């Protein structure tokens, strides 16, 4: 026991960060292989998309019970069992004979991944001394921020050079290695045998399960079925809102709650969780929007768009480690404010892109963005847990991850919907210019028609010219919608800065 207590905290960090990296990379690694999975099983794009969403849903549903499981079994056992279930899910994915079986296997894999990240965060907060919490959260950010960015690149490389099954194959030996490292280096602990551990809050857990399941269905199918035009989406929305409210009230009033929601009474934790969700919104929204932009408007292939995004993963990885050390010497709130300003500036730089943009104009804003992300993430996460007692870390980490999970799902869905709807609005505005009474349109139309007449008859040349101008209109409308969403994201980052003032810094106070 003494050897385990004196184990270097960085070795323990390595042991718990490896499974965290695998769990988060698995959520984004299948994004690029989605067409290959659909083709392999003869499924549609919408059906194959369930392979991604079911993993997120099942992982999110495990977050509320993380605190209960930790109190029941201890952090080490929860981590070990989670890795075993995750590896079992990967094996089942390889053996899946049809899409339905693959979806069930992904649910098993998601159940295994759900508890890994909050338990990792709780262990890091425990093994590092209080003055090194910035370093601990910098290391945690390597898993929380770097792995989702690296997932698409790794998944794309394995799919292009081997097959999509290798996304799951590679996880099995790494999961076995993770189990060995956790078994050796993470200290054993005696679970807190409290009275309420014998009771499980079934009502509270069922309410959050129903709420998150309904929310994910709404976000996945809303755009496809035109949102609230469908009665069943309205019903699901009502059930979702009621279930969330019921969960909150029940957890406050019930004697044996599945998760201690009263940790939100801590001001630092409440505002820190809200601000952290803003960081997740900008990170995952741009992770969706920038590849969408370069593929639809610049004509990049999936591998090229992944290559354009990969520098941000490397910069984020280095930044998380460096900022963890800087946070020892710079006031955390000031560091976080600088990070948000950098993120806002980076997203505003993205509004300067156009259909003739070079690779450098895509990479540079992403580099600046992923310098700003760790600059804000590390101090905000450290401040969020700074004023909480150590006994509350497991519950707090689970709630922190659950809240960010919900906000991220909503933000990515809204971003995709905004592009589709705003493009239609701009089309309505721009199409008024495509009329014979507009001299510029008449000039462009005549010019293109004469060029096409060298190859086609007059009537067909006119149709070709009209079609080309309409295609340019569609591209301009889509471009304008990207400008709007990037501007809104930049304003959101600036709006988060005043919230930093609500955080207390114990170091400054002392």
* Tens-digit pLDDT profile for residues 44-57: 666 676 777 778 77
Are 296 and 423 a contacting pair, CB within 8 Å? no
Q: In whole angstroms, what is the distance from residue 500 CA to residue 289 CA?
A: 27
SS3 call for 12: helix
Q: In whole angstroms, what is the distance from residue 138 CA to residue 136 CA?
A: 5
pLDDT for the residue 1: 37
Are 397 and 259 a contacting pair, CB within 8 Å? no
Residue 357 token pair: 């943009």
Note the pLDDT tens digit of each residue in 18-47.
888 888 888 777 776 777 787 888 876 666
Closest of 310, 331, 340, 347 to residue 134, by C-alpha:
331
Helices (H), 186-230: 202-221
Euclidean distance between the first and final Cα of the chain, in Å?
34
pLDDT at 413 over 70: yes
pLDDT at 411 over 90: no
CATH architecture of 1-197: Up-down Bundle (1.20)
Highest mean predicted confidence (pLDDT) among 125-129, 162-166, 186-190? 162-166
Of the chain, the percentage scoring pLDDT greater than 70 comes to 90
Q: Is the pTM of this model over 0.75?
A: no
Q: In whole angstroms, what is the distance from residue 127 CA to residue 135 CA?
A: 11
- Label residue 319 by pLDDT band (50, 70, 90): confident
Find all residues with CB under 8 Å of 58, minimum gap 6, and list them. 106, 107, 108, 109, 110, 111, 114
SS (H, E, C) 339-352: HHHHHHHHHHHHCC
- The per-residue pLDDT of the chain, averaged, comes to 80
SS3 call for 473: helix
What are the structural domain ranges in the chain? 1-197
pLDDT for the residue 190: 58
Find all residues with CB under 8 Å of 13, minimum gap 6, and list them. 124, 127, 128, 136, 139
Residue 227 token pair: 């949102």
- Label residue 86 by pLDDT band (50, 70, 90): very high
Q: In whole angstroms, what is the distance from residue 80 CA to residue 59 CA?
A: 16
Per the rule left: phi > 0, alpha: psi between -120 and 50, beta: everything else, 472 is alpha
pLDDT for the residue 82: 92
Residue 138 token pair: 């910098």
pLDDT for the residue 195: 43
Residue 477 token pair: 């409308």
pLDDT for the residue 6: 60
Highest mean predicted confidence (pLDDT) among 95-109, 256-270, 353-367, 447-461? 95-109
């Amino acid at each position: 026991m003494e050897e385990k207590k004196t184990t270097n905290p960085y070795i323990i960090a390595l042991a718990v960060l490896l499974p965290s990296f695998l769990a988060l990379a698995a959520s984004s690694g299948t994004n690029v292989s989605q067409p290959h999975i659909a083709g392999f099983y003869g499924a549609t794009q919408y059906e194959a998309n369930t392979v991604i969403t079911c993993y997120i849903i099942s992982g999110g549903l495990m977050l509320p019970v993380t605190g209960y499981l930790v109190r029941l079994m201890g952090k080490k056992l929860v981590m070990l069992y989670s890795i075993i279930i995750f590896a079992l899910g990967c094996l089942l994915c390889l053996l899946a004979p049809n899409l339905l079986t693959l979806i069930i296997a992904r649910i098993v894999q998601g159940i295994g991944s759900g508890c890994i990240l909050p338990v990792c965060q709780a262990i890091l907060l425990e093994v590092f001394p209080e003055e090194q919490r910035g370093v601990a959260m910098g290391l945690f950010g390597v898993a929380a921020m770097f792995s989702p960015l690296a997932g698409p690149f790794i998944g794309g490389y394995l799919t292009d050079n081997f097959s999509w099954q290798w996304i799951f194959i590679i996880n099995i030996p790494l999961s076995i290695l993770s189990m060995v490292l956790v078994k050796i280096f993470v200290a054993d602990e005696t679970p807190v045998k409290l009275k309420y551990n014998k009771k499980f809050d079934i009502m509270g857990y069922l309410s959050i399960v129903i709420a998150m399941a309904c929310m994910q269905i709404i976000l996945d199918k809303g755009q496809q079925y035109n949102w609230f035009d469908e009665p069943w989406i309205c019903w699901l929305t009502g059930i979702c809102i009621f279930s969330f409210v019921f969960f909150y009230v029940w957890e406050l009033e019930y004697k044996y709650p599945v998760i201690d929601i009263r940790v939100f009474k801590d001001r630092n934790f409440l505002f820190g969780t809200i601000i952290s969700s803003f960081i997740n919104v900008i990170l995952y929204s741009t992770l969706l929007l920038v590849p969408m932009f370069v593929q639809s408007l610049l004509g990049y292939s999936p591998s090229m768009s992944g290559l354009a995004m990969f520098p941000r993963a490397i910069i984020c990885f280095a930044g998380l480690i460096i900022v963890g050390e800087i946070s020892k010497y710079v006031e955390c709130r000031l560091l976080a404010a600088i990070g948000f300003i950098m993120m806002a500036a980076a997203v505003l730089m993205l509004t300067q892109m156009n259909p003739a943009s070079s690779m450098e104009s895509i990479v540079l804003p992403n580099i600046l963005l992923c310098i700003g992300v760790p600059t804000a993430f590390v101090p905000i996460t450290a401040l969020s847990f700074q004023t909480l007692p150590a006994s509350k870390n497991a519950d707090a980490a689970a709630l922190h991850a659950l809240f960010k999970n919900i906000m991220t799902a909503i933000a990515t869905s809204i971003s995709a919907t905004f592009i589709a709807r705003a493009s239609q609005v701009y089309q309505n505005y721009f199409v008024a210019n495509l009329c014979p009474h507009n001299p510029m349109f008449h000039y462009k139309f005549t010019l293109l028609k004469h060029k096409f007449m060298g190859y086609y008859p007059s009537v067909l040349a006119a149709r070709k010219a009209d079609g080309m101008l309409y295609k340019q209109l569609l591209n301009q409308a889509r471009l304008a919608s990207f400008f709007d969403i990037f501007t809104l994201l930049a304003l959101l980052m600036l709006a988060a800065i005043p919230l930093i003032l609500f955080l207390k810094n114990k170091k400054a106070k002392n």
